[in-house]
Amino acid sequence: MTINQVNELLPVPSGPLEILALPTGGSNFTDAHTVSIYFSLIVPTYNECKNVKTIVEQLSKLLDGMIPGNYELIVVDDNSPDRTWEIAQSLTVEYPQLQVMRREDERGLSTAVIRGWQASRGEVLGVIDADLQHPPETLLQLLAEIQRGADLAAASRHVAEGGVSDWSVIRRFLSRGAQTVGLIILPGVVGRVSDPMSGYFMLRRNCIAGKTMNPAGYKILIEVLGRGNIRWIGEVGYVFQERKEGESKVTSKQYIEYLRHLLILRFARWPMGKFVRFGIVGFSGVFVNMAVLYVLRTYLNLELTRSLIFAAELAIISNFLWNDLWTFGDISKRQPGISQRFKRLLKFNTICLMGLILNVLLVNLMFNVFGMNEYLANLIAIVAVTLWNFWINMKLSWRVTEVD
Ligand code: GDD
Ligand code: MN
């Protein structure tokens, strides 16, 4: 590239939203786009013509002081009507470490960030807003967290030194409300950081390399936490600034997209294979129950209640054995021995008996209070109790405790 030429626009990646691992092998890379560097920072833009020059100047000054020549800025613009991409591209003459991507066929904050990461060369991938609401100087503390060994470093408004400038009560309520809904639907993801709504963070590429992303809406951090392999998370407090130019693109649609995103991740993390096996085993238990009941009543002439209890108990034991060998076999073989198995049986039994009680309560509620047909009520209760039995058993009886 001769000195006063602008950088070409980056080609826009298409296809699956998968970030690749960096090319390994010799250091004699030929193509400028394949030389790996330390840090790639994505700046997603939509109608930021008044902010883009300032943010590029501030970021370049900051990063030239910390990692000179070892970073790149990638503005990913969604064909802004105010031609932000064109202004950004003109800046590449003065800031050669700046690259610009103009997307014309795809739109959205989260996918813009991922496409930027796909086109990037950094070992560490970051994202920052273009509108100066995320203070650039926080980058230095985030990079320090990564260099301390964190897999992901997030700027948070909800830790010491964090906060928002003068957000309206409504915006604060909406932000905290969204976080609470996330904690209910996806506690294992949203609960890992104090500010899951943050759009200001960085992470090691290898934590998400090879994972296909499927984000919806604005919350890229939740997507990364939900699909990435992230163990150590560092957080840095920052004060979310007031916008000086342009306006926020957050609309009520983003909140609906956020809910959809949570549900997509919820079911992506739901172990469907195990759930199907658990359902098949549970269904087989119905036959065991009926067969034992038939034998006890017909050949042993045992009175009804005791026959029902014996039949239910034998069905529970049969279900346990099948689940321990087949559904959760991969987990139980890591916890060998009779006493461990007996402990699992006790937990399984207790949970199933609680499920029986739950079943009776639900059927009575639907039948007596809502006047629902008893067989439909029982069917709904069976489905609800199967979900309960599966989830609680997976979390308690066959819990996978990651041992470091
Ligand atoms: N490429 C692209 N495409 N960029 C977008 C789009 C889009 O569809 N929508 C917004 N952006 C860019 C904006 O230009 C800005 O740089 C950044 O994404 C954030 O957009 P805002 O509209 O300013 O969002 P906000 O300020 O209300 O909320 C931001 O901060 C919150 C707290 O960190 C967002 O980053 C939220 O995700 C975040 O929770
Ligand atoms: Mn903003």
* The amino acid at 45: T
Round to whole Å and give the CA distance between 338 and 333. Answer: 12
At what angle are helices 304-322 and 272-298 packed, to 10 degrees? 150
Q: Which residues line ligand 1 (CB under 6 A)?
A: 44-46, 48, 76-78, 107-109, 112, 129-131, 133, 197-200, 218, 240, 248-250
Q: Which atom of ligand 1 is nearest to the CA of 76?
A: 1
Q: What is the mean pLDDT of each run of 10 residues along the chain (404 residues)?
A: 77 95 56 74 97 98 96 98 97 96 95 97 97 96 97 93 78 83 89 94 97 88 94 95 87 86 86 91 92 92 89 93 94 89 94 89 90 87 88 84 44
| Domain edges within the chain | 31-268, 272-403
Residue 85's H or E segment, with its range, is helix 84-91
**Given ligand 1 and candidates 249, 251, 255, 257, which is best to mutate, with the most ligand atoms within 8 Å of its CB?**
249
Q: Using the mean position of ligand 2's atoms as its centre, give its distance from the Cα of residue 3 in Å.
A: 34
Q: Using the mean position of ligand 1's atoms as its centre, give its distance from the Cα of residue 45 in Å.
A: 8
Nearest-CA residue for atom 29 of ligand 1: 199
pLDDT confidence of residue 309 = 87
* pTM: predicted TM-score of the whole model, two decimal places: 0.77
Strands (E), 219-329: 233-237, 239-240
Q: Which single residue is written with the structure tokens 């439909």? A: 376
- The DSSP 8-state label assigned to residue 359 in this structure reads H
The topology (CATH level 3) of 31-268 is Spore Coat Polysaccharide Biosynthesis Protein SpsA; Chain A (3.90.550)
Report pLDDT digits (tens) over 158-202.
888 788 777 778 877 888 888 888 998 888 899 999 999 999 999
- Supply φ then ψ for residue 126, to 5 degrees: -135, 170
Round to whole Å and give the CA distance between 326 and 330. Answer: 8
- Contact, 55 vs 130, CB < 8 A? yes
Nearest-CA residue for atom 13 of ligand 1: 45
pLDDT confidence of residue 210 = 94
**Given ligand 1 and candidates 12, 53, 109, 235, which is best to mutate, with the most ligand atoms within 8 Å of its CB?**
109
* The amino acid at 165: S
Round to whole Å and give the CA distance between 177 and 186. Answer: 14
Q: Considering just the CA atoms, what is the radius of gyration of the chain in Å?
A: 27
* Protein residues placing their CB within 5 Å of the ion ligand 2: 131, 133, 248
Q: Which residues, in sequence order, are bridge partners of residue 113?
A: none
Token pair of 50 as six digits: 């008044």
What's the longest Cα–Cα distance across the chain?
97
Q: Using the mean position of ligand 2's atoms as its centre, give its distance from the Cα of residue 108 in Å.
A: 14
Name all contacts of 137-143 with Cβ < 8 Å and 24+ positions apart. Answer: 137/62, 138/200, 138/236, 138/238, 139/41, 139/59, 139/62, 139/63, 139/202, 140/62, 140/66, 141/236, 142/201, 142/202, 142/234, 142/236, 143/39, 143/66, 143/67, 143/202
Q: Using the mean position of ligand 1's atoms as its centre, give its distance from the Cα of residue 249 in Å.
A: 6
